[in-house]
Structure 1
Amino acid sequence: MQIIPLSDITADLRDLVGGKAAGLGDLIRHGERVPPGFCITTETDLDALPEAEIIDAYQRLGGGPVAVRSSATAEDLPDASFAGQQDTLLDVTGATDLLAAIRACGQSLHGPRATAYRDAHHIDHDTVRMAVVVQQMIAPAVSGVLFTANPLTGCRTQMMVDAAPGPGTAVVDGATAADHYVLDGSDQPARGVLTPAHLADLHAAGVRIQGHAGSNQDIEWAIDEQDTLWVLQSRPITTLFPLPPATDKPQPRVYLEFGHVQGMLQPVTPMGMSTLRELIAAMLAPLGLKVEIVDIGGRLYGDLTDLARDRSARKRLVKLMAVDFGPRAQAAMEHVLADPRFAPLERGATRARTANPDALRTAARAVTGILRTLARPDAARTRLFHAVDRMRLASTAFDGPTTTTADRLRLVQTQDATDSHDEITWPVVAGILAASVPSHLLKGLVAPDEIQRVLGGMPHNVTIEMDLALWRIAERATEHRRLLLDTPPHRLALLHRQGRLPDIGLAAFLDSYGHRGVAEVDLGVPRWEEDPTPIFAMLANYLRLTDADQAPDRRFARAAATAEATLDGIATRARRRRPVRGRLAVFLLRRARELAGLREAGKFAGLYHLRERRRHLLLIGADLTAAALLEHPDDIMFLTLDEVHDAVHRGTDQRPTAAARKVVHHRELRRRTVPVALLSDGTDVETVLPAAPATGTALRGVGAAPGRVTGPARVVHDPATAHLEPGDILVAATTDPGWTPLFLTAAALVTDTGAIMAHGPTVAREYGIPAVICVPDATRRITTGQIITVDGATGTVTPHEATAPAVPEPSPTPSRG
């Protein structure tokens, strides 16, 4: 079958006609007014076009001007629209030009734009085939684009229209100034090229097309001289962040993204999501905060609506944002609290407040634990590390009588990873308070970067100890330098598992730290002991460091010495000018140096339990794979425990469920930006904040570790494959402890998001490298190789020169295709 009328195309013919033609056939079946036409299918060989049949079909259209459009099988996908990546030719007239246009469209499948786009979306080139659509040309009086959701803010209750006189290419190419309309269903005043009646028709068409497509759509349209509306094509809007889950609670609602506090913006597996919900709820409980954790796009969001509408709680929210969530979250929450829709409820509309015995007991334990820690920090540290060791030993006793798959599942379901240990919780909280309060007590007397210097070179941090242990392995491995530098990390990992590598001490390292990894709080992510590929990539980075003075252990020691000297200077100044507050601030800073490094200990200990829980789940997954209920053992991480229960006890085939979720998960892995705050209608709160004033060429963020460095940027999305040369400035969306070994060779750190007390900035301070966080779109605005200056004191990143991007940018196109 080589030629099919558009009116005969059904959804099951997608592989034969491509995405665009399948979409047009769907529009026609649902009664939309679409220019008539036909499709030359993927079965046609461009070198041997059925010319007579094509010319016959063309003449049946009237033989006048036509539009010739590409329609690839990997086009208009949920996460890849291919807008403008393949060719469209308009106003093609005559048989000779038509055949040439069809060949040109077919050949654009392998053009540089389409090839680069498929590479970026990890689409196999060999699986994609091209069909071509030929349609009667519409002579438009006005044309443009309709989005059934606001693509700038994500708001699903608004539609957006761009329109201009003449053909739509002027709008989609940006060749002319278009009239811009935002539709919310209300009457629109008359202005520009569209009348209120036109806008009402477009809004109604958007509602219809979105309804039968089942997703928000990007629609090209035209209105001819007879005032008739034509739909030229419709494709999914692929850039929208998913909506929050439906709820019957009062609207609107506001959700804050929690993952970046853990240095994690990648999506969480469904199995990991359930565990993280428990962990975050347990973390917030000592603070007196009860927050529902929801899954939006595989990310952890907390529903803060009730707190925002509570007269008492809302006063604490912005301060809480500043300490734990960073300035981006703080600015978003300030905007939400100023929104009349989130005004505090009248007292009668809220639940009567009664003393909560559990909260009072928690508060009493908190006060006792914090004061006890501040009084005797050495003893508190000893208790904490004993508690960590008990948790490690308890995890090794995780095994029970597991003679069957059901026994193993029962063990997993009954184990609780959220047990709170006062010996761990209150020393960590005391260290955070001791580090954060002095800046307020010394405001106007001490600069923020001085406080940050005092928090450098911090002892007792298990993550720092891990990084330095890996550095010592690199020092011992110098005789195997060429092997470790010249062999790809994944190959080294395979050789290690086969026992074919020289002994460099890696086995002992993995015994201590193998339960860790990137995105380690996600139960569904492999640990280093399962796949040490990232470790070998980091060792290679260390081996490139040849300047002994820049060795990580020396840098850490210098940072510690600078911290002590800075603290002595602050103490002299503060006691002289602020005798009471100054002495208290200095006392707290000294306690911070003894306690603040402990902040990683609780998470570090909890990871032992996650490792064992994951191990048991993978064994269950292997059993379910053997029973043909899962495709692969690790597919169990794309199920919930209830779904695993159904598979184990009822024999439910979970292969379709796991496969569908893996597709969504892998699509979300490619998402580079995640809203820090989201409204229930899909609005990304940051997109509606007032624009910051321009400040020259400098990119502005938040200084999180002092110092000033100039060097080449290295934009990294995956630490497992990162190649850092000594002196490179690490630029990342955010970082968690699994990234921190990269800090040993990085000259500075720049991130898109984060909080001053989060993992990345904390470790940067302790290594004495400058860090600027919360630089909007840093990973997009900075390119690898670009020379930049990072100034942790001023919170700025200044580009000096740019280099060509590693991947060529798509060239301009005559139309979006």
Structure 2
Amino acid sequence: MVDPSARAARTPGGTDTPSGYENTLRPLALAFGRRRGDARRFGGKATSLGRLVREGLPVPRGWVLPADHFDALAETTLPRGHDLPTLIKLAGSRTGIDRAARARDRIQAAPLAAPLQAAIEALWADVGESAPWGLAVRSSATCEDGEETSFAGLATTLLGVRGPEGLAAAIKQVWASAFLPRAIDYLAHHGVRDVAMAVLVQVMARAEAAGVLFTAPPPGLAGEHWGENERLVNVTLGLGAPVVEGAMPTDSVRFAKAGGVVATVVAEKRRALVVGPRGMEEVAIPEDRTRLPALSHEAIGQLGELASRLEQGGTGPFDVEFAVERTPEGKDQVLLLQVRPIGGGGFPEGGDAQTVWSRANVGEALPGAATPLTWSIARSFSEKGFREAFAALGCRVPRGAHLVTNVHGRFYLNLTAFMQIAAQVPLLSPRALLQASGGAGEAAIALLERQTEDVSKRGFLARLPVVAPRVLASQARLERDVASYEVEAERARRSLAEMDLGLLPDDALATTLRTASALLDRTGTLMLSCASASLASHLALARLLDRVAARRSSARDDEDAALAMDPLMPRSLSTGTSLAHALVGGVRELESAGPGVALARIAVRAREEPEARECLLAGKVRALNDLPDGPTRRELESFLDTFGDRAVREAELSTPRWREDPTAVLAMLVAALRAPDSDPDRALARARALADREMAQLETRIGPAVLYAVRALVTRTQRFTRLRERMRMWVTRVLGMLRTIALDVDRRLRRIDPTLPTGAVFFCTYDELILALRSGRAEIGHVARLRRAEHLRDAQRPDPPPTFIGRPPPVQLPPAFGRRLVGLPASSGVVEGRARVLAPGTSGLDAVCAGEILVTRTTDVGLSPLFLVAAAVVTELGGPLSHAAIVAREYGVPAVVNVPGATVAIRTGDRVRVDGDRGTIEIFGDDVRSKDT
């Protein structure tokens, strides 16, 4: 991939010869921290690398711009009260956010001092020709890469910087990143009162491969996945940024400190990040290299030697970013780009070292980092809804409890707080709840059980005589409440559609936004009431079935007994829970199943219309207008009228709805057209037939009284599930209304500040928008720019684990899997086929072929139309009662959810067997002959 004759310019040991710019941009070898004050002048990262250079370790040629220049620019550019010490005192306040945004804008707009500009020009003139991949510009704050504070992922790094103008802009961008809200909050949380920002500039290594080496497990992470005396490497081809940011598939290598590879996971790597003529770009990997290891044995050996040298003196463990460069002799040379102690960040808001956090279920609706507007609305919506739902059940919610939090822009539930509140209800244990919802491993469940074992139930029991009749009455009228709500919500929806928002004054638009937000709160509260009723009925049904399960017989009893002894088998789902899933299948009239059924019927219509069919299959249709006028086009128009508020990742307000951009709909329609002719009603009938068959078997094994109770609970669960999914659809519609209003606010913001990009509104919070509109001065462009920069930083960070305890671990553990993966059974059935691994987003949806196994990080309802094309579904996130799992059961499609590492272990084209009854996936090698199931 890299021309071995063109190497990154670096002098032996990383030292530099004297040049005219050396008094301004100090050679890295001099940033050693020998003199008092050097640590503040050069920052943690540069000081660390300077020490490595002095010790003779391989580091790319580099320079450090001392923090004095940052201090001087801040002093001459920023108004009083906008300096970092003041902003740290104001962390989290509205005034602090406003001032930080203005300070950031001023830093980026200010010209550099003439001597610094001259030094930058001299540096580029000296090294430009010998730096074919340009320069890397990184922060080196005083609190960075230290034992107590790491500042990791909070400041900006720019790669492939070229030319004096580019270098000057990059330096200011690094300085400006110190003013991002999460960086200031981090400093305040760790008691840092001031910070100085030096800047590190290095020649880019032309990386054949790059990644991160962890010299040993951090405290608490050693275990079966990573031994105490092992090192771990995550690596990919090309630059290492995708490894650090979690953006691309990476190889994982564990090797012993004493030498010898312990385990290797080789990912399918189809793209690599490199520096091209126009800057950073992704390039295709030749087909014969996609499944080859990124690291050679030679490079692994060098990494082991370097790790041993770093740990001399008993220090460590370390987090080491590295690149592998090809020498002119064709050998691999490892270069150290960054070395810092492995340490954790602060605890998420509202938690401590024993708090269990999870996004395993909510991540289905909102994967990845949420924009500030989405997060601010979702947080209010969720906190209010959960509190009202608990209160309705007679549970007391402690004052000040944080039920949800933001971790690197991701939405997490505080399971500790949830379970301690829910445990007030007798028989409602963490294990029972997590059996239904999924999302926690055995260690987390055990901790939650310890945390809830002393929760008193006396208060709940004392309130029970009053609460129970009220809850039963509330559930009895849920259907009427939903119907009444729908009349009101439809009226509000039509009123907004008929309104010309552009004619409203700002304060009237603020009122419209508040009204829509209040409607969302009401929608969410009613949806959670339906969800609580559905969950309660499901848990009661599962508990009853557990009691009678021993009396059921099956042709697979012996096999089940053998599997029960298998330590790899999941133990989170009881027999009663699995049987309950089957019995309540075939709900019918399920709103979440509607888009898939409707699209399948449009595919049937398109097959009967040759001209439309040929246009779709030829890839000529990008919009509805590209289709010939006829039944297919009219039915698609009707589809968008009905389901146009839906989308993939539809909980994110910045996501265009299907009505705005039907690309995903058209792609899924093409996939349906390529599948054999199929009747969607037949798929729905399969789920009903399975439920009927399970019920018929029960009838022969249990008495009439128990059978009556089972039938009643099945009917009750189905009814509340239908209501839950109807309200879920209305949540999506109201989010569409909020998006419509937000887009009009966006137009006003851009009229005031034409430099703002389209969509700037999504990088303001709900309160900021209301305040700006009420004041008659929607001048918050500086805040939008600030929050957008922070969101981009969050989006580039790797996803924290779906569930963690205390704080997100600084290291992503390697997945542990072999030929068999284990998750949670979500939809019954056993099927074998070729895998199709879907990347995040909407690309490649039209490539899905009939009979393939869909494997994805998460499947929201926006992808559910593909379920009718696929033979089975496997996801890394989600739970057995998630919306997508319910849709899979409604379609009769086998599904397994919560499968760690599924998208890494399984590759497109692999032959796999999915067992939706037991929650297992078998991966067949080329030497394994498949058998029809």
TM-score, normalization: structure 2? 0.60
Distance 2:428 2:23 in 1: 53
The one-character-per-residue Cα deviations of 1:432-466 (angstroms, maximum 9, x if unpaired) are 43344323212223555544332332212111122
Deviation at 1:293, TM superposition (A): 1.7
Moved more, 513-522 or 303-312: 303-312
Deviation at 1:106, TM superposition (A): 5.6
Pick aligned residue for 2:595 from 447, 450, 466: 466
- Judge conservation of contact 1:467–1:741 (CA < 8 Å) in 2: yes
Structure showing greater relative contact order (alpha-carbon pairs closer than 8 Å, 6 or more residues apart) = 1
- Judge conservation of contact 1:754–1:773 (CA < 8 Å) in 2: yes
Distance 1:362 1:675 in 2: 38
Distance 1:781 1:772 in 2: 15
Deviation at 1:294, TM superposition (A): 1.4
The verdict on how the C-alpha distance between 1:739 and 1:193 changes in structure 2, with shifts beyond 3 A counting, is closer
Q: Is 1:390–2:488 an aligned residue pair?
A: yes
The verdict on how the C-alpha distance between 1:659 and 1:355 changes in structure 2, with shifts beyond 3 A counting, is farther
3-state SS of the aligned residue for 1:265? coil
Distance 1:259 1:779 in 2: 17
Pick aligned residue for 2:803 from 677, 680, 685: 677
3-state SS of the aligned residue for 2:522? coil
- Judge conservation of contact 1:624–1:633 (CA < 8 Å) in 2: no
Identity in percent: 23
The verdict on how the C-alpha distance between 1:360 and 1:746 changes in structure 2, with shifts beyond 3 A counting, is farther
Moved more, 583-592 or 788-797: 583-592
* 2:540 matched residue in structure 1: 437
Q: Is 1:481–2:613 an aligned residue pair?
A: yes
The one-character-per-residue Cα deviations of 1:565-613 (angstroms, maximum 9, x if unpaired) are 33233233222xxx43343113212443444333211121122222122
Report the number of matched residues: 660
Give the letter aligned to residue 540 of structure 2.
V
* 1:740 matched residue in structure 2: 864
Q: Is 1:284–2:418 an aligned residue pair?
A: no
The verdict on how the C-alpha distance between 1:29 and 1:312 changes in structure 2, with shifts beyond 3 A counting, is closer
Q: Is 1:643–2:643 an aligned residue pair?
A: no
- Judge conservation of contact 2:408–2:797 (CA < 8 Å) in 1: no
- Judge conservation of contact 1:255–1:678 (CA < 8 Å) in 2: yes
- Judge conservation of contact 2:506–2:776 (CA < 8 Å) in 1: no
- Judge conservation of contact 2:645–2:736 (CA < 8 Å) in 1: yes
* 1:275 matched residue in structure 2: 377
The verdict on how the C-alpha distance between 1:570 and 1:390 changes in structure 2, with shifts beyond 3 A counting, is farther
Distance 1:238 1:388 in 2: 56
Deviation at 1:295, TM superposition (A): 1.1
Name the Cα RMSD after superposition.
Answer: 5.1
3-state SS of the aligned residue for 2:652? coil
* 1:754 matched residue in structure 2: 878
Distance 1:11 1:712 in 2: 62
* 1:518 matched residue in structure 2: 648
- Judge conservation of contact 1:438–1:589 (CA < 8 Å) in 2: yes
* 1:776 matched residue in structure 2: 900
The verdict on how the C-alpha distance between 1:245 and 1:431 changes in structure 2, with shifts beyond 3 A counting, is closer
Pick aligned residue for 1:454 from 574, 578, 583: 583
Deviation at 1:703, TM superposition (A): 1.4
- Judge conservation of contact 1:453–1:566 (CA < 8 Å) in 2: yes
Q: Is 1:173–2:300 an aligned residue pair?
A: yes
3-state SS of the aligned residue for 2:908? coil
Instruction: Note the residue ranges of structure 2 that are not aligned, 5 or more in a row.
Output: 1-8, 30-40, 63-122, 140-151, 160-201, 211-235, 243-269, 282-295, 324-334, 553-574, 928-933
Deviation at 1:242, TM superposition (A): 7.2
Q: Is 1:322–2:434 an aligned residue pair?
A: yes
Distance 2:841 2:732 in 1: 20
Deviation at 1:473, TM superposition (A): 1.8
* 2:849 matched residue in structure 1: 725
- Judge conservation of contact 1:311–1:344 (CA < 8 Å) in 2: no
* 2:683 matched residue in structure 1: 555
- Judge conservation of contact 1:311–1:345 (CA < 8 Å) in 2: no
The one-character-per-residue Cα deviations of 1:237-267 (angstroms, maximum 9, x if unpaired) are 89999755456x7665443326536443222
Distance 1:793 1:599 in 2: 24
The verdict on how the C-alpha distance between 1:570 and 1:240 changes in structure 2, with shifts beyond 3 A counting, is farther
- Judge conservation of contact 2:320–2:339 (CA < 8 Å) in 1: yes
Distance 1:463 1:435 in 2: 19
Pick aligned residue for 2:46 from 23, 27, 31: 27
3-state SS of the aligned residue for 1:329? coil
Distance 1:559 1:308 in 2: 32
Pick aligned residue for 2:916 from 792, 804, 817: 792
Deviation at 1:700, TM superposition (A): 1.4
* 2:826 matched residue in structure 1: 704
3-state SS of the aligned residue for 2:600? helix
Pick aligned residue for 1:199 from 296, 314, 317: 314
Give the letter aligned to residue 680 of structure 2.
P
Deviation at 1:683, TM superposition (A): 3.4
Distance 2:580 2:461 in 1: 38
Deviation at 1:388, TM superposition (A): 2.5
Instruction: Note the residue ranges of structure 1 that are not aligned, 5 or more in a row.
Output: 50-68, 84-101, 131-168, 182-191, 207-215, 221-231, 374-379, 804-817
- Judge conservation of contact 2:49–2:338 (CA < 8 Å) in 1: no
3-state SS of the aligned residue for 1:255? strand
Pick aligned residue for 1:125 from 276, 291, 295: 276
The one-character-per-residue Cα deviations of 1:639-664 (angstroms, maximum 9, x if unpaired) are 11233356554857544543454455
Deviation at 1:419, TM superposition (A): 1.2
The verdict on how the C-alpha distance between 1:180 and 1:439 changes in structure 2, with shifts beyond 3 A counting, is farther
Distance 1:569 1:503 in 2: 46
How does 1:141-160 map onto structure 2 within 5 Å? none
How does 1:535-684 map onto structure 2 within 5 Å? 535-548=665-678, 551-575=679-703, 579-628=704-753, 631-645=756-770, 647-648=772-773, 649=775, 654-666=780-792, 668-669=794-795, 673-683=799-809
- Judge conservation of contact 2:836–2:908 (CA < 8 Å) in 1: yes
Give the letter aligned to residue 199 of structure 1.
G
Deviation at 1:356, TM superposition (A): 11
The one-character-per-residue Cα deviations of 1:737-783 (angstroms, maximum 9, x if unpaired) are 11111101010011112211111221111111111111111011100
Distance 2:899 2:705 in 1: 37
Distance 1:520 1:679 in 2: 28
3-state SS of the aligned residue for 2:640? helix
Give the letter aligned to residue 554 of structure 1.
R
The one-character-per-residue Cα deviations of 1:340-360 (angstroms, maximum 9, x if unpaired) are xx698899xx9x979999x99
Give the letter aligned to residue 505 of structure 2.
T
The verdict on how the C-alpha distance between 1:281 and 1:610 changes in structure 2, with shifts beyond 3 A counting, is same
Give the letter aligned to residue 901 of structure 2.
D
The verdict on how the C-alpha distance between 1:194 and 1:421 changes in structure 2, with shifts beyond 3 A counting, is closer
- Judge conservation of contact 1:387–1:421 (CA < 8 Å) in 2: no
3-state SS of the aligned residue for 2:440? helix
The verdict on how the C-alpha distance between 1:533 and 1:75 changes in structure 2, with shifts beyond 3 A counting, is farther
3-state SS of the aligned residue for 1:199? coil
Pick aligned residue for 2:623 from 476, 492, 496: 492
The one-character-per-residue Cα deviations of 1:180-208 (angstroms, maximum 9, x if unpaired) are 99xxxxxxxxxx9967xx225x68xx8xx
3-state SS of the aligned residue for 2:918? coil
* 2:408 matched residue in structure 1: 297
Deviation at 1:123, TM superposition (A): 7.0
- Judge conservation of contact 1:259–1:265 (CA < 8 Å) in 2: no
